[in-house]
Structure 1
Amino acid sequence: MAGAPQAFAQGAIGPLDCVIEPAQRVKIGSATLGILKSVAVKRGDVVEAGHIIARLDTSVEEANLALAEAQARNAAPVEAQRARVELYRRRLERQNQLSKGVATQDKVDQVEADFEIGKRDLQTELLKHDLAVLEVERARAQLDLRIIRSPFSGLVFERLMSAGEFVRQDSAIFTLVQLDPLYVEAYVGVGEWNRLKLGASAEVSLDAPIGGTYPARVTVIDHVFDAASGTFGVRLELPNPGNALPAGQRCKVKIGAAG
């Protein structure tokens, strides 16, 4: 909504010609190849950051994940090896309780070796189980690569593909735009360089048919002058809750100068 005009110090910069642009305009694709199974949004739809907007076919990845989860849940090899180690431990204790001369040294050595080998085999089974858990994470990551989420909250500007099409890694499925905040781009004469500061307040007046005056703030001041025009670029952020204001329109901006 339009705000009340701001009271600027005498000598405010402007009004300057400006253009309102989306904060982001991003082509969304896929990190992997595959058939596009479903598209959840269409042109003009509002999307939230992290929401699923499309899916590639995931039948193979879902099967791989189910297999990895089943293997990770299987603790039988570990428990069986624990039982063997316990058996070897008891044998060694009984062997040590026998008086010298009753058991040969070879027998004692054999029981001790069985116990040590059993403990190492148990460590191997525990490592295999840990690897199975990691395999679950890998399978989930592969599945997640085929699920396309919105990287930010905004609008669908274009839908470029439909379900059933083959997606390559250089294919764009959507173009998304972020409209909150909006960026106001303007050019200021180099003579104003020392009067303009980051964070300075400004008011943006929109052309018809939108109209109205809105508060904004300077967020970028270019440090490279354009020698041909004698200007430098300035960007302002214009809050736009609810995407109420459209981008791509001309405007005028007045910026409060540093005191």
Structure 2
Amino acid sequence: MSQSGKTAKRMVIMLIIVLVIFAGLFGWGMLRSFFIEKFLKSFANQVQTVATIKAQETPWQPLVKSVGSLTAINGASLSAEVAGIVDTINFQSGQDVEKGDVLLTLRPNNDPAVLAQLEAQARLDAITYTRDQKQFAVDAVSKAQLDTDRANLDAANAQVAAQKALMAEKVVRAPFSGRLGIRQVDLGEYLQPGTAIVTLEQLDPLFVDFYLPQQEVARLHVGQVVDVGVDADPGQIYKAKITAIGATVDSSTRSIAVRAILHNPSLQLRPGMFTTVSVETGAPQEAVTLPQTAISYNSYGDTVYLVMHGKDAEGHEALSAKQVFVTLGATRGDQVQVLTGVKPGEEVVTAGQVKLHNGSPVAVNNSIQPSNNPNPNPPNE
């Protein structure tokens, strides 16, 4: 066979191979598309089991929530006004004290002796003044002498008062009633002026300080009730009342400072604790509410599935899913407020909607329902 004949034969063989490959690929693509289409059709017609709830109107109290912290009405870090060595400590860490109780004294050194000397001089000046008053009455001394005696007496009394004030600065007293913190000094320790000795906090009542968005300013007023929760006592809600609203809005956060007063008779709460705050900002109203699990949150809009009652091809009653867009309001606990899209009495899918699309046949099984509690209290584990 000539060289040209061999070349032609090889080209024919290569062409046949290429045709076989294309036929195989085309045939497999057709086969794959056929099976995928059949699978999707069978899946689309499959009845999906879902849980549902009847939409209904419930009382809805408008709230604004925030976080804050507890602050003592009176709180101070106590220290001595003058330098000295600790002479006595009259308190225990964590002790409750009354206003005026002596907590600590510094070594007096020669202060009592100096006071005694000044008091003696004051007594002598008082005797001299009294005697010269009697002599002045009979013209035995001049008016100038009597005035000098009076000035000497006043100066002596002033020196006594100054010495007593100096000695009082070496005694640290409780400025108000409250509970002490941890002692920071020891006996015999030399203290500089201003050295922290112990903290004192008034625990009842307490301030609750928090911030709210500027949009809520018009709905806030002094005396408004505030619900306060703390992590240290989960599930317990404390009632407080607003006592002050800030005069300015923070320009960086666009929020306003609010302060409420909270009674703490059990002394269980402490300044500095983190709090959650809820403020009622209007009259209760009726609103359609759904469990948050019923909502499909999407970038193009939030949706829910409604259960529609109809007939199948054989005339039997059948249920199907219908997807609708909704407008949502505020949330509370497990619930969300639905402003538009769902009417009272409509049956809404709360679980299993991930398997649905418009027109999907469904079967309802409400043996297990998602949580729908407006005030859930999960265990703190």
Is the 8 Å Cα contact of residues 77 and 198 (structure 2) preserved in structure 1?
A: yes
Distance 1:164 1:202 in 2: 48
Is the 8 Å Cα contact of residues 38 and 162 (structure 1) preserved in structure 2?
A: no
Distance 2:105 2:184 in 1: 14
> Which residue in the other structure is 2:320 paired with?
none
Alignment of 1:78 onto 2:124: no
> Which residue in the other structure is 1:156 paired with?
180
Q: Say which SS state the counterpart of residue 182 (structure 2) adopts.
A: strand
Distance 1:20 1:54 in 2: 29
> Which residue in the other structure is 2:261 paired with?
237
> 1:43-97: CA deviations, max 9, x gaps?
211122222111111242222222222222233322443454456x3xxxxxxxx
Give the alignment partner of residue 19 of structure 1, picking from 36, 51, 69: 69
Distance 1:184 1:250 in 2: 10
> 1:18-51: CA deviations, max 9, x gaps?
3323334422111111111112113211122222
- After the TM superposition, which residues 10-49 of structure 1 pair with which residues of structure 2 at under 5 Å, given as runs? 11-49=61-99
- After the TM superposition, which residues 98-177 of structure 1 pair with which residues of structure 2 at under 5 Å, given as runs? 118-177=142-201
Amino acid at match of 2:129: V
> 1:108-165: CA deviations, max 9, x gaps?
xxxxxxx5x6332122112211222222221211111111112222221232111211
Amino acid at match of 1:39: I
Is the 8 Å Cα contact of residues 64 and 281 (structure 2) preserved in structure 1?
A: no
Amino acid at match of 1:48: E
Amino acid at match of 1:133: N
> Which residue in the other structure is 2:342 paired with?
none
Structure 1, 78-87 or 46-55: larger mean CA deviation: 78-87
- Indicate the structure with greater helix content: 1
Distance 1:252 1:163 in 2: 42
Give the alignment partner of residue 205 of structure 1, picking from 215, 229, 234: 229
Give the alignment's Cα RMSD to 1 decimal: 2.7
Alignment CA distance shift 1:71-1:193 (3 Å): same
Distance 2:144 2:193 in 1: 45
Q: Say which SS state the counterpart of residue 180 (structure 1) adopts.
A: coil
Distance 1:37 1:258 in 2: 59
Distance 1:166 1:56 in 2: 9
Amino acid at match of 1:76: I
Aligned-pair CA distance for 1:225: 3.4
> Which residue in the other structure is 1:56 paired with?
106
Distance 2:235 2:76 in 1: 28
Question: Which of 1 and 2 has higher RCO (CA within 8 Å, sep 6+)?
Answer: 1
Amino acid at match of 2:161: E
Is the 8 Å Cα contact of residues 20 and 249 (structure 1) preserved in structure 2?
A: yes
Name the TM-score, length of structure 2 as normaliser. 0.52
Structure 1, unaligned runs of 5 or more: 1-8, 90-114
Q: Say which SS state the counterpart of residue 205 (structure 1) adopts.
A: strand
Is the 8 Å Cα contact of residues 63 and 281 (structure 2) preserved in structure 1?
A: yes
Is the 8 Å Cα contact of residues 83 and 190 (structure 2) preserved in structure 1?
A: yes
Q: Percent of aligned pairs with the same residue?
A: 28
Q: Say which SS state the counterpart of residue 196 (structure 2) adopts.
A: coil
Amino acid at match of 1:154: G
Is the 8 Å Cα contact of residues 12 and 254 (structure 1) preserved in structure 2?
A: no
Alignment CA distance shift 1:200-1:81 (3 Å): same
Distance 1:211 1:68 in 2: 64
Aligned-pair CA distance for 1:189: 2.1
Aligned-pair CA distance for 1:246: 3.0
> 1:175-221: CA deviations, max 9, x gaps?
22222221212222222121111232222233354642222111232
Distance 1:30 1:138 in 2: 17
Amino acid at match of 2:73: A
Aligned-pair CA distance for 1:170: 3.2
